[in-house]
């Protein structure tokens, strides 16, 4: 009980203790951006990253909220074995087909496609996330559609002056729950990149 209260207070002020995040190597830091390599490493005993994902139509913020609730249902037991899965960070959001958004929760690193329970809801699926190199811009505070768009534009502008070029769709990552004090939130925008 005391641990739950402490964890709840921690999330209010942006303390993410015990929440697993995908592993990455930092390839470099350029003009406020971080170039990261995600994916299995030779010495890593785990395989590819796995995510539970759902595609949600609608505007960016309502799709994020609906996608979050759907995926939270899966990890809290809306699956064929009624198993609970540890929460990880970040929640990922990228533009999908048409007027839709793809929202993802990364699964714990020890998970495999064979050990994860099958989702009950047809709108949730498990996918392997390919290894990738990503340019990332971190920011705190507001994570509205306008802010995410402005930060993404800033990321792409800075990239023009580097040895990296975009090689995919921009993505937004949100590490904290909505009730976290805004200036303590960790948010990021990223874009897959390749060397020029």
Average model confidence (pLDDT) across the chain: 89
Give the pLDDT of residue 177.
Answer: 86
Residue 87: what pLDDT? 93
Please list, in sequence order, all residues whose beta carbon lies within 8 angstroms of the beta carbon of residue 25, skipping any fewer than 6 positions away.
Answer: 36, 37, 41
Q: What is the mean pLDDT of residues 144-160?
A: 97
Structural domain boundaries in the chain: 2-195
Burial (0-12, 13-18, 19+ Cβ within 10 Å), 135: buried
What's residue 190's pLDDT?
Answer: 98
Q: Residue 190: which of 18, 24, 17, 70 has the closest Cα?
A: 24
Q: What is the pLDDT of residue 44?
A: 59
Tell me, what's the pLDDT at 178? 81
pTM: 0.87
pLDDT band, residue 163 (cuts 50/70/90): very high
pLDDT value at residue 6: 38
CATH number of the domain at 2-195, please?
A: 3.20.80.10
Check if the beta carbon of residue 60 is closer than 8 Å to that of residue 143.
no
With a CB cutoff of 8 Å and minimum separation 6, the contacts of 166 are 135, 156, 159, 191, 192, 193
Look up residue 90 and give its DSSP letter.
-
- pLDDT 10s digits, 124-151: 999 999 999 999 999 999 999 999 999 9
Q: Please report the pLDDT score of residue 31 as a whole number.
A: 93
């Amino acid at each position: 009980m005391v641990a739950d209260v402490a964890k709840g207070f921690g999330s209010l002020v942006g303390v993410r203790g015990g929440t697993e995040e995908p592993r990455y190597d930092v390839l470099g830091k350029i003009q406020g951006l971080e170039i990261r390599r995600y994916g299995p490493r030779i010495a890593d005993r785990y395989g590819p990253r796995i995510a539970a994902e759902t595609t949600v139509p609608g505007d960016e913020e309502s799709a994020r909220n609906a996608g979050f609730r759907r995926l939270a249902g899966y990890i809290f037991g809306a699956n064929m074995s009624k198993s609970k899965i540890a929460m990880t960070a970040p929640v990922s959001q990228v533009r999908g087909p048409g007027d839709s958004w793809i929202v993802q929760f990364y699964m714990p690193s020890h998970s495999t496609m064979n050990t994860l329970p099958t989702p009950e809801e047809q709108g949730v699926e498990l996918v392997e996330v390919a290894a990738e190199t990503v340019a990332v811009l971190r920011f705190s505070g507001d994570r509205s559609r306008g802010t995410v768009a402005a930060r993404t534009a800033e990321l792409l502008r800075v990239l023009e002056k580097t040895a990296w070029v975009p090689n995919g769709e921009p993505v937004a990552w949100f590490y904290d729950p909505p009730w976290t004090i805004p200036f303590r939130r960790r948010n990021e925008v990223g874009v897959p990149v390749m060397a020029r």
